[in-house]
Amino acid sequence: MPASTEPMPGARRSPSPYPRPSGGKLPAGGSVDRAERALWFGRPARALSLLAAVPATPRSAWLRGVALIALGRYGAADDTLLPTALGRYGAGDGALLPTAPGARPVLRSGSGRRYVSLALSALGSSARQRGRYDRAAELDAAALEAAGTDVEARADALVGLTADAIGAGTRAMAERRLAALREVADPGWRTAVRCGWVAAEFSLLSDLPETAAAAAYRAVRCAEMAQAPRHLAKSLLFYGVSVREVARRQAVAPLFRSAAVILRRAERLAAAVEAFPVWGVACRLRQETLKEVAVTGEAVAQNTYTTIAS
């Protein structure tokens, strides 16, 4: 668990779901730049709106696919990402070009190869959200092969591979992949947050809920500092689940209530940015946690009565 001197995220006031950079000005750039900012620091639906009139390029297709995944539109995301994942484009950020169906990715150097890898990782995420861990692992392995020396692409692939192993319940494989992820040099805020997610998941798989809570809390703090509401919502989801597991181990009703508060914050923040998959999970877990609050409270009260009576 985080040190007692650190505030509980559940008690903090949520940042605006539409944060702006310091100075209150959006960065200069075209629609794709604005869409990417909306995707990470605003609403995925806004990113899709900005990308609607943008010609299809590897970068815009990847952003569009990630936005669709964030909204829970997995089939549409797969259709959007597949051409880029297969390398159906010209050099650099040129327009997408058709190739033979079923062809393997054409791994060019530079930004083209980077977006092949990122698109494959996004497809892996889409498959994983639907419980298709074997398929996700294949896509993430291909993403790692395509990543080359690109730090962000390599990190995305390793996050996916770690999550795939956790989902499949293969602890030893998950541990090796998490170790490789931690060796990625100079990760940005997004990688740091996502690394916290899989570290928390791995700790839960290893029956170490206190360690999971600490990892999830680090992800919460990183997402807060980045002012990334969608990532913050998911980080709070992992944190709430981890705190709930600590409460289960200790049978402490106040910890269940803390978990419910954290999950409620995740729920509200996810709703504000229309991150429907995170919102749905947070709603369900919060309701389950509130039921456990009541059951644990009754058990503690009964135990106290029995002790006094004896």
pLDDT tens digit string along 217-251? 999 999 999 999 999 999 999 999 999 999 999 98
Q: How confident is the model at residue 279 (pLDDT cuts 50, 70, 90)?
A: very high
Angle at 124 between CA 118 and CA 127, to 5 degrees: 145
Q: Determine which of 37-46, 106-115, 157-166, 265-274 has the lowest per-residue pLDDT on average.
A: 106-115
Q: How confident is the model at residue 199 (pLDDT cuts 50, 70, 90)?
A: very high
Indicate whether 186 pLDDT > 90. no
Q: Is 248 left (phi over 0), alpha (psi -120 to 50) or beta?
A: alpha
Q: How confident is the model at residue 52 (pLDDT cuts 50, 70, 90)?
A: very high
Q: Which amino acid is at 147?
A: A
- What was the pLDDT predicted at 16? 36
Q: Which amino acid is at 174?
A: A
For residues 144 and 175, give the distance between their C-alpha atoms in angstroms, rounded to a whole number. 17
Q: Where are the domains of the chain?
A: 222-309
E strands, 110-216, are: none
Interval 296-307 mean pLDDT: 40
Indicate whether 301 pLDDT > 70. no
Which tens digits make up the pLDDT trace of 59-95?
A: 999 999 999 999 999 999 999 999 999 986 443 443 3
Quote the tokens at residue 83. Answer: 């051409």
For residues 222 and 220, give the distance between their C-alpha atoms in angstroms, rounded to a whole number. 6
Which tens digits make up the pLDDT trace of 15-31?
A: 333 334 333 333 434 89
The mean predicted confidence, pLDDT, of the chain is 83
Q: How confident is the model at residue 6 (pLDDT cuts 50, 70, 90)?
A: very low
Assign 96 to helix, strand or coil. strand
Is 117 within 8 Å of 135 (Cβ atoms)? no
Q: What is the largest CA-CA distance in the chain?
A: 80
Going by C-alpha positions, the residue among 130, 125, 107, 126 that lies closest to residue 163 is: 125
Which position has the higher pLDDT, 185 or 254? 254
Assign 89 to helix, strand or coil. strand
96 strand-pairing partners? 89
- What was the pLDDT predicted at 71? 97
φ and ψ at residue 130, rounded to 5 degrees: -100, 15
140 CB burial (10 A radius; 0-12, 13-18, 19+)? buried
Indicate whether 10 pLDDT > 70. no
Indicate whether 102 pLDDT > 70. no
- What was the pLDDT predicted at 296? 64
Which tens digits make up the pLDDT trace of 108-165?
A: 445 578 999 999 999 999 999 999 999 999 999 999 999 999 999 999 999 999 999 9
**Percent of residues, the chain, with pLDDT higher than 70:** 78
Indicate whether 297 pLDDT > 60. no
